[in-house]
Amino acid sequence: MEAALDERQDQIHRTGEQPFNLVCDKDSLAGAVSQRACVFCGSRVVLYPIADALHLVHGPIGCAVYTWDIRGALSSGPELHRLSFSTDLQELDVIFGGEKKLYAALTELIKRHSPKAAFVYATCIVGIIGDDMEAICKRVEAETGIPVIPVKSEGFMGNKRAGYTAACNAMARLIGTGDTSTISPHSINILGDFNLAGEIWMIRDYFKKIGVEVVANITGDGRVADLQRAHGAALNVVQCSGSTMDLAKIMEDDYGVPSIRVSYFGVEDMAQALYDVAGHFGDAEILRRTQELVKGELEVLLPKLEFYKKALTGKKAAIYVGGSFKAFSLVKAFRLLGMDVVMVGSQTGTEQEYRELAEITDPGTIIVDDTNPLELTSFLEEKDVDIFVGGVKERPIAYKLGVGFCDHNHERKEALAGFSGMLNFSEEVYASVMSPVWRFTERFQKGEAK
Amino acid sequence: MTRNPKPNYISTTNACKLCTPLGASLAFKGIEGAVPYLHGSQGCATYMRRYIISHFNEPIDIASSSLSEKHAVYGGGPNLKLGLLNVTKKYAPKLIGIATTCLTETIGDDVSLFLKEYDREVEGDKPLMVQVSTPSYMGTHMEGFHNAVASVVDTLATKDEASPDTINILPGFVSPADIRYLKEVVADFELQATILPDISETMDGVAAKTYDKIQPGGTPLAAIKTMGSNLATLEFGHTMAEKSGGMILKERFQVACTRMALPMGITASDRFFAALASLSGKATPIKHTLERGRLVDSYVDGHKYIYGKKAIVYGEEDLVVGLTAFLAEIGVMPVLCASGGRSGKLAAKIAEATADLLPEPPQVFEGMDFFEISEMAEGLEPDLLVGHAKGYPLASKLEIPLIRVGFPIHDRMGGQRILHLGYRGAQSLFDLVVNAMIAKKQSDSPVGYAYM
């Protein structure tokens, strides 16, 4: 097997083969071709689904154009988030400062689109030329009467996690400004679901059925006014802990809103999420409805899954995702299908998360932080993987090796969350693993595929 | 036809351009054994990889200096060198193509100096290094592309014994299918060609036995080194900077350089074939005259379905010139030609290419974004859009067909296999355009005609 660079060795762990000592949350190694993006990316993906806000990227054109309509985050109403706004800084702006252009662009765009708020993203160059974004935002806020919030997302100021923090700090400036008088005591905010393929609508529907009010979607199908009154919710239900946990902490400190961590992926975790919320409120009626809902969903789902389980049992899966919370659910989901997870990694997992992954995975499973194409290739080859779960950048790696692929990232078009999401997930895995096209690839002809 | 004034907004919405380092990365990717390397923060490389992968469905590893805050303050030199070392260890490249980013340009990193230091400090075999300055606040991905090509020529090309049968072709940013076609045509003229860059295999590879760290193919380094000895250079495009790869070869090694429009449509392709005939001393091979003949035949068969249809054309400037010339010669009326680029030459080149074909010249604007294109489209009542996939929201709003060409094609399979050039490319584009119009009429019609 191709060895990883020396500096990367301590970011790779093999379950059961060594004491757990994985290093993470450090800057990507120069020249290693990390799959990570940057601080700006972290902020942009978290705030992006807030559909009635203006998202203006302050910098040269690249940062805005590569994030134009980047996520399949659906909106039930306005779609302002799907447009890509940029100050498109030019050489002279860089020399003389971009503040004038930022002011003019903001004013122009707010007038044109009448957004409910504006987020202004700092890019690398803004951090260098020293534009006072805070002052410009304040001025435009005073002039237009809508919240205008700078997002401190200079690309080089840390890694993607720092971008999550910047996004949370930006959202925190909205929270606490709206009227909360009509909010039910049995109410929650959904944090860390981005409504890819309409997933948050499904989750909201579950909560509605068990009698829990959802105050704010943070941020899938998100709205500024909902964020402004989010502090009135009784509980923050946090998925994708990496991206919105900071906001939950801020809301706990500032408004005393407690939080729980959940995942909506896979049968077990989805059911657990509903039970945890029901348990928090300790309301007998909510609990009864939750049991009813879970029972009803499982009665429909489990028999359907049998078909896939039969076909997929013993197949091997590898997982590489942005945040490692999702990896837990995927490990469990693959187990439910009788499949073996042989590699799991993420761009921005925490030590605690990796430690827990090491505890729940089988001996020999590779656990990896902030990996790159060559390492991934060697892991897939070594473990003779049948399906790889990741995002767009991982896809050609799998396909070139003749390995099936499931997009569990921004570009998915089928909901993978919730109970029906588990069925979609199984169908997608099945469709890729069982396709007849593999027989023409070298891997199959080498006799390695089963 | 209404003639709206060009809107003049301060902000950019849905840009019709990409940033300079992306173009440079793609150009470097078309060189044998090369790894593109961005000197900047990690995000740039990752974003561009994602953007490129979604078009080509191929791996593209772009390395990065992964600069963080302290490097931005104290300079990115140490990380640049560390990155080069790591890329060399892991990829064993023959060449590393280093492009700067806005971050490193603005903090004033002196990449040439760092490379000189690296050369002194690091022992043993080192890959060739080519650097290009690509701050994304200057120009578009096309400047990045052409400047990277110019840097490769500037750094590597030399003059050796004259090779009278070999020509240089600098095709610009065309598809892998286009490059394969160019190779075939050149070979049919019994010429050799150094095509720089050549992404025909590196960005459209086969399903391989094992994972190639660096995809095979690309312009051979040995061929680049002798570009100064070759018979002549054909350089496609008119809107790049004066100091292009072709011009460097001309000035330094006296290799005659012919700049020509992208050979799109019959007229421009004729010029390309004539140039090859003249350089090779051979008549256009029968295979290609037959292709041309069939193309003319199909133009005739299909002309009524498209005559006078109004098109909006957008994208990279030279591509827009080529497309507009092609559309004009088949009877489609380009009403708006737009690009995010700002060469200052677009209108003149379009006027030149369409002078005897159009009753009135189209409106031509540089520095456009899709918000402005969309706003102008309101009064123009176009029948079709021609350009890359980012025009889809507009086509969808106007309920008219989008002919997908160029880069990026993010919402369909096979962007890398779209053939634009030569008689064969014109044939394929012609069929697309005519069939889009026929399909539109068919689906809009309550009859649903079963014959054209």
- Go through the domains of chain B in sequence order and give each one's CATH number: 20-155 (3.40.50.1980), 157-280 (3.40.50.1980), 286-444 (3.40.50.1980)
> Which of A197, A240, A234, A201 lies closest to A217 in space, CA to CA?
A201
Confidence category of residue A410, pLDDT binned at 50, 70, 90: confident
Q: Looking at the complex, does the CB of residue A83 fall below 8 Å from at least one CB of chain B?
A: yes
Tell me the CA distances in angstroms from A65 to A198, B91, B135, one per residue in order.
Answer: 24, 29, 15
Residue B1 has pLDDT above 50, yes or no: no
Tokens at A301, concatenated: 């789902």
The pLDDT assigned to B360 comes to: 83
**Cα A65 to Cα A205: distance, rounded to the nearest angstrom:** 34
Residue A417 has pLDDT above 60, yes or no: yes
Q: Do B208 and A400 touch (CB under 8 A)?
A: yes
Of B13, B67, B83, the CB nearest to A85: B13
Lowest mean pLDDT among A23-32, A85-94, A163-172, B379-388: A23-32
Where does residue B304 rank: exposed (0-12), middle (13-18), buried (19+ CB within 10 A)?
exposed
Confidence category of residue A240, pLDDT binned at 50, 70, 90: confident
Any idea which fold A39-172 has?
Rossmann fold (3.40.50)
CB B423 within 8 A of CB B295: yes
Residue B2 has pLDDT above 80, yes or no: no
Q: Looking at the complex, does the CB of residue A437 fall below 8 Å from at least one CB of chain B?
A: no
Residue B207 has pLDDT above 90, yes or no: no
Residues of B within 8 A of A54 (CB-CB) are none
Report residue B202 CA to chain centroid gap. Answer: 15
**Cα A308 to Cα B232: distance, rounded to the nearest angstrom:** 61
Higher pLDDT, A395 or A443: A395
Helix (H) or strand (E) holding B136: none
- Specify the pTM: 0.96
Residue A446 to chain B, least CA–CA distance (Å) = 8
User: Which CATH class, in words, describes the domain spanning A187-291?
Assistant: alpha beta
The pLDDT assigned to A1 comes to: 52
**Cα A291 to Cα A225: distance, rounded to the nearest angstrom:** 32
The pLDDT assigned to A450 comes to: 45
**Cα B213 to Cα B91: distance, rounded to the nearest angstrom:** 6
Interface of A with B in 117-146 (CB under 8 A): 123-125, 127-129
In three-state secondary structure terms, A34 is coil
Tell me the CA distances in angstroms from A322 to A63, A121, A172, A393, B325, one per residue in order.
Answer: 19, 21, 23, 11, 46
Q: Give the start-end residues of each E strand in B255-331.
A: 256-260, 310-314
CB B312 within 8 A of CB B364: no
Instruction: Give the number of beta-carbon pairs within 8 Å between A and B.
Output: 227
Mean pLDDT value across residues A206-210 = 98
Residue B74 to chain A, least CA–CA distance (Å) = 12
> Which of A218, A354, A318, A335 lies closest to A265 in space, CA to CA?
A335
Residue B160 has pLDDT above 60, yes or no: yes
- Return the amino acid letter for B26: L
Of B15, B68, B89, the CB nearest to A64: B15
> Which of A268, A266, A216, A209 lies closest to A237 in space, CA to CA?
A216
**Cα B324 to Cα B262: distance, rounded to the nearest angstrom:** 11
Confidence category of residue A446, pLDDT binned at 50, 70, 90: low
> Which of B175, B210, B251, B208 lies closest to B408 in space, CA to CA?
B175
Give CATH 3.40.50.1980 domain extents, chain A.
Answer: 6-23+298-445, 39-172, 187-291
User: Which CATH class, in words, describes the domain spanning A6-23+298-445?
Assistant: alpha beta
- Return the amino acid letter for A301: L
**Cα B72 to Cα A132: distance, rounded to the nearest angstrom:** 18
**Cα B48 to Cα A239: distance, rounded to the nearest angstrom:** 28
Q: Looking at the complex, does the CB of residue A385 fall below 8 Å from at least one CB of chain B?
A: no
pLDDT tens, position by position, A46-62: 999 999 999 999 999 99
In three-state secondary structure terms, B207 is coil
Chain B, nearest residue to A441 by Cα: B207
CB B61 within 8 A of CB A373: yes
Cα distance from N-terminal residue to C-terminal residue, chain B = 28
